[in-house]
């Protein structure tokens, strides 16, 4: 009877401790979400006024046009079409450069975890992740901008691609390590070459992890401004030539912030950038769910 009472008191103690821990986790989670909701509310409250069709179809206005609009108490004319197209161009080139290279390096690290070269590459990847973005921009300026004798979207893409590499490499390595060894053994036993097994068995099986890692890398660099200031520079018109200076949404936000007449466009541009990131996340989740990987 005493043993039964002791078990009951122990169970009550564990149940109470579990409830306290659950309450603490919920409270801390709610506290961390407060700044996020405050930021979202501030962006929506101040950004919806300029959120119209012109935002997507017209280039950024001049300071004089914005000043005249403010004097007449009317919405600022123009939009950020040059920033939208520039962001798409720079990101597209960066993705083409970073994802294949990052996946190949990640495969090498996963397949050769104990080699000295793999350890060296892994250390370099970790070091690269901690380098400030402006430093990467300056290095790319020396490597690309000076030899090309001009700023360009290509230089900005290379800077962003370098920043994307560590996250893609690490996510690829960790995703492949989570796969059972029997998967590769079965592919080799069926007569497939090592390259075929990697490309047609291992990588598709780890697709969810690879896709998520690539998404996080893209999300990280999408709002970067510092490396683009010294590589892509910016442009007042729509540009699809990768060898010419190109604007981006983040660059326009910086320009708007430094001009009091254009300050109102900061909020609508930031809101659009946030919605862009949210859309990519939702798309990635739907793709991962459809593949049902891992």
As a whole number, mean pLDDT of residues 151-160 equals 96
Q: Which residues lie below 8 Å from residue 172, measured CB to CB, with a gap of 6+? A: 102, 103, 105, 106, 107, 109, 110, 206, 209, 210, 213
pLDDT in tens, 82-107: 999 999 999 999 999 999 999 999 99
107 and 42 in one domain? no
Tell me whether residue 264 is in a domain.
yes
Q: Which of 65-74, 85-94, 170-179 has the lowest mean pLDDT?
A: 65-74
* Domain span at 11: 1-48
Question: If pLDDT is split at 50, 70 and 90, which confidence band does 16 have?
Answer: confident
Per-residue model confidence (pLDDT) at position 154: 95
Higher pLDDT, 73 or 190: 190
140 and 99 in one domain? yes
**What's the mean per-residue pLDDT of the chain?**
88
* CATH code: domain of residue 189: 1.10.3720.10
Tell me whether residue 174 is in a domain.
yes
30 and 104 in one domain? no
240 and 131 in one domain? yes
Question: If pLDDT is split at 50, 70 and 90, which confidence band does 292 have?
Answer: low
212 and 146 in one domain? yes
**What number of other Cβ atoms are within 10 A of residue 249's Cβ?**
23
**What number of other Cβ atoms are within 10 A of residue 181's Cβ?**
7
Tell me whether residue 73 is in a domain.
no
DSSP 242: T
How far is it, in rounded angstroms, from Cα 144 to Cα 151?
8
How many distinct structural domains can be found in the chain?
2
Is the pLDDT reported for residue 216 higher than 90? no
Tell me whether residue 239 is in a domain.
yes
Contact 79, 249 (CB under 8 A): no
Question: If pLDDT is split at 50, 70 and 90, which confidence band does 48 have?
Answer: confident
Claim: this prediction has a pTM higher than 0.85 = yes
């Amino acid at each position: 009877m005493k043993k039964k009472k002791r078990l009951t008191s122990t169970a009550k103690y564990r149940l109470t401790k579990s409830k306290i821990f659950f309450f603490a986790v919920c409270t801390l989670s709610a506290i961390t979400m407060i700044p996020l909701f405050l930021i979202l509310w501030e962006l929506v409250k101040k950004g919806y006024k300029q959120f119209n069709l012109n935002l997507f179809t017209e280039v950024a206005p001049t300071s004089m046009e914005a000043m005249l609009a403010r004097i007449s108490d009317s919405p600022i004319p123009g939009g950020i079409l040059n920033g939208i197209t520039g962001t798409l161009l720079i990101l597209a080139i960066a993705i083409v450069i970073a994802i294949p290279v990052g996946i190949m390096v990640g495969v090498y690290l996963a397949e050769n975890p104990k080699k000295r070269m793999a350890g060296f590459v892994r250390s370099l990847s970790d070091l690269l992740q901690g380098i400030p973005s402006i430093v990467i921009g300056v290095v790319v300026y020396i490597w690309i901008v000076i030899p090309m004798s001009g700023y360009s979207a290509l230089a900005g893409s290379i800077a962003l691609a370098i920043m994307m590499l560590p996250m893609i490499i690490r996510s690829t390595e960790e995703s492949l390590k989570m796969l059972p060894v029997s998967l590769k053994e079965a592919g080799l036993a069926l007569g497939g070459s090592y390259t075929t097994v990697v490309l047609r068995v291992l990588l598709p099986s780890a697709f969810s992890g690879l896709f998520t890692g690539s998404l996080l890398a893209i999300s990280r660099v999408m709002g970067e401004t510092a490396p683009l200031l010294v590589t892509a520079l910016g442009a007042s018109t729509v540009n699809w030539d990768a060898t010419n200076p190109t604007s981006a949404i983040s660059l326009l936000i910086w320009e708007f912030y430094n001009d009091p007449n254009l300050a109102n466009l900061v909020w609508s541009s930031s809101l659009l950038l946030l919605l862009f990131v949210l859309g990519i996340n939702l798309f990635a989740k739907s793709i991962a769910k459809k593949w049902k990987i891992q």
